[in-house]
Structure 1
Amino acid sequence: MGKTVKKQRPVNLDLSTIRFPVTAISSILHRVTGVITLVALAILLWLLGLSLSSPEGFQHAATIMDGFFAKFIMWGILTALAYHAVSGIRHMLMDFGYLAETLQAGSRSAEVAIGITVVLSILAGVLVW
């Protein structure tokens, strides 16, 4: 009847040996930071609502923001938002034709976006602390 074909494909089960190109890392980070930004919106709206509810609510929100953990979370939110915005601008520049659609231009613009985010992340740390 039908022949069975034995596929002789290599299988790599050691995920630590796989190297993603910078463009893939940039794309994955853009998606992850989008989800983080969405979750952060809920946290920030809750904190805003608490601070506007009453003078005691404002004091409670200020007390929450005095802790190291809250400052660390706020720094993470700002870093995620910065990367998502910078990467979004990168994508818009590519869509409008200001950046060439080549592997070299994509890799270079991804590296630049990550570099800008590192600087913005440091500035966010200075702002938060």
Structure 2
Amino acid sequence: MSAKQRPLSPFMIGPYYRPQMTSILSITHRATGAGLVVGTLLLVYWLVAAARGPEAFEHAQMVLGSKLGQLFLFLWTWALFYHLANGIRHLFWDAGHGFEMEKATQSGWAVVWSSIILTFLCWLIAAP
């Protein structure tokens, strides 16, 4: 096989490879999974602070109530909904549905938009 006929690695992004919706969603799914781990550790910090007493809880509330804390919680909420929606998409794939490129792209956009909409709805409903 000559060098020009060999398949190119997907890591050669640029003039040789155009990222596809499925690959971007897969990478994002992995990243949101890692983000959920970090967010869950923050949730554990908040629960431990609540168990330790009023001073520790007040400090945790101050940290999570800050602008940076609120931004992190917002992104964690989005990661949760994205991971959930993409997991449901994968359940359909496991059942053998939606492998056609057009349907895979449509379901990918459904995952993106549903995660954004659910995040905003959650924050609108939960906001004091």
The answer, yes or no, to whether TM exceeds 0.5 is yes
Mapped partners of 2:23, 2:69: distance in 1? 31
Which stretch of structure 1 is more off in the superposition, 88-97 or 71-80?
Answer: 88-97
Provide the rounded CA distance (Å) in 2 between the counterparts of 1:117 and 1:85: 8
CA deviation profile, 1:21-43 (whole Å, cap 9, x unmatched) = 11111111111111111122112
- More contact order relative to length (CA 8 Å, sep ≥ 6): 1
CA distance in 1, matches of 2:66, 2:117: 24
The aligned counterpart of 1:62 is 61
Give me the whole-angstrom Cα distance separating, in 2, the residues matched to 1:62 and 1:45: 13
CA offset digits 1:33-88 (Å, max 9, x no partner): 11111122112111211122112222222222221110001111111111011100
Q: Which residue of 2 aligns with 1:100?
A: 98
Q: Which consecutive segments of 4 or more residues in structure 1 shift more than 6 A?
A: none
What's the Cα RMSD here?
A: 2.8
Contact 1:36 1:77 in 2 (8 A): yes
Unaligned 5+ segments in structure 1 are: none
Greater displacement, 41-50 / 72-81: 41-50
Instruction: Figure out how many residues of one structure are paired with residues of the other and give that number.
Output: 124
* Change over 3 Å in CA distance of 1:51–1:102 after alignment to 2: same
Partner residue, 1:23: 22
Taking the TM superposition and a 5 Å limit, the aligned residue runs for 1:1-129 are 7-8=3-4, 15=13, 17=15, 18-97=17-96, 99-126=97-124, 127=126
Output the CA distance in 2 between the equivalents of 1:70 and 1:39: 13
Q: Is the 8 A contact 1:30 1:87 kept in 2?
A: yes
Gaps of 5+ in 2: none
Determine the C-alpha separation between the residues in 1 that align with 2:110 and 2:90. Answer: 13
Higher Cα radius of gyration: 1
Q: Residue type matched to 1:110 in 2?
A: G
| TM-score normalised per structure 1 | 0.79
Question: Percent sequence identity over matched residues?
Answer: 25
Amino acid at match of 1:37: L
Residues of 2 paired with 1:74 and 1:128: CA distance?
Answer: 12
